[in-house]
């Protein structure tokens, strides 16, 4: 018997997936750098998210580790269920722990996509985000590179991360935008891109939906997740955790369960 999709379902990148996704940034060492302290637990959390709780939208990035989490996802979940959407992101350099440098040169972006395909064991990235817009490279060049890789069959759909309304308008002149990731939670409540995505029928994927745990003080996960889900049917949060018990509470909250 299949497990009901947590939070219901949503269309993202041409796929029907669980509205509650799973963000994987926390499955690394301190500073989003290197391997997690407990690699076996990180693998178990990934497997539980998909096989126990029915999450079919996993969000990651080549910058997480860097590269660490893409390896973990393959080791935990490959061969992947047909229902699973793995979204990754490219466009950062990671010179050291806690350092994030936008790097949108076309040669770099192309190399990142090719490397993510190898690490994840995929022939195509169904959803690939530009992790950050590099202010030193024309946006048309950055998105043009990803769009060319769509034409080559290496990317299915293109997403954008941490963008302004102006970025949104410019990007849509260059490519078809499949999803947007911005910060949205009960502490960071306002983002005009939420309404822009709603009006354009584009999924809005809030990252840091629990504000790195600060929005769930006292163990209350239901209130911040409920607030997000009530903002619109196009909203698909991607909370993350390395703790299996915390994951269970998140899934329960997304389905309208208890607060702890």
Active site residues: 64
CA–CA distance from 151 to each of 105, 130, 155, 230 (Å)? 19, 17, 8, 36
* d(C-alpha 126, C-alpha 120), whole Å: 12
* d(C-alpha 130, C-alpha 159), whole Å: 6
b/e burial code for range 50-60 (CB count within 10 A of at least 16 → b)? beebbbbbbbb
């Amino acid at each position: 018997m299949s497990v009901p999709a947590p939070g219901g379902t949503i269309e993202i990148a041409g796929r029907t997936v669980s509205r509650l996704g799973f963000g994987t940034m926390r499955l690394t060492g301190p500073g989003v750098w290197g391997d997690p302290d407990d690699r076996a637990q990180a693998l178990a959390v990934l497997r539980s998210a998909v096989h126990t709780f029915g999450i079919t939208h996993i969000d990651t990035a080549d910058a997480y580790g860097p590269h660490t989490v893409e390896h973990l996802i393959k080791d935990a979940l490959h061969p992947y269920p047909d229902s699973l959407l793995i979204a990754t992101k490219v466009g950062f350099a990671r010179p050291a722990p806690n350092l994030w440098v936008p790097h949108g040169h076309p040669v770099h972006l192309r190399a990142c996509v090719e490397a993510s395909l190898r690490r994840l064991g995929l022939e195509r990235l169904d959803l690939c985000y530009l992790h950050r817009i590099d202010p030193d490279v024309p946006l048309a060049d950055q998105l043009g590179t990803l769009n060319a890789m769509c034409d080559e069959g290496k990317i299915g759909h293109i997403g954008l991360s941490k963008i302004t309304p102006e970025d949104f308008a410019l990007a849509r002149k260059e490519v078809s935008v499949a999803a947007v990731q911005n910060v949205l939670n009960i502490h960071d409540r306002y983002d005009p891109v939420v309404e822009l995505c709603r009006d354009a029928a584009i999924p809005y994927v809030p990252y840091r939906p629990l504000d790195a745990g600060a929005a769930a003080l006292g163990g209350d996960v239901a209130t911040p997740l409920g607030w997000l889900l009530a903002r619109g049917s196009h909203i698909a949060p991607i909370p993350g955790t390395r703790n299996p018990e915390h994951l269970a509470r998140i899934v329960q909250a997304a389905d309208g369960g208890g607060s702890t």
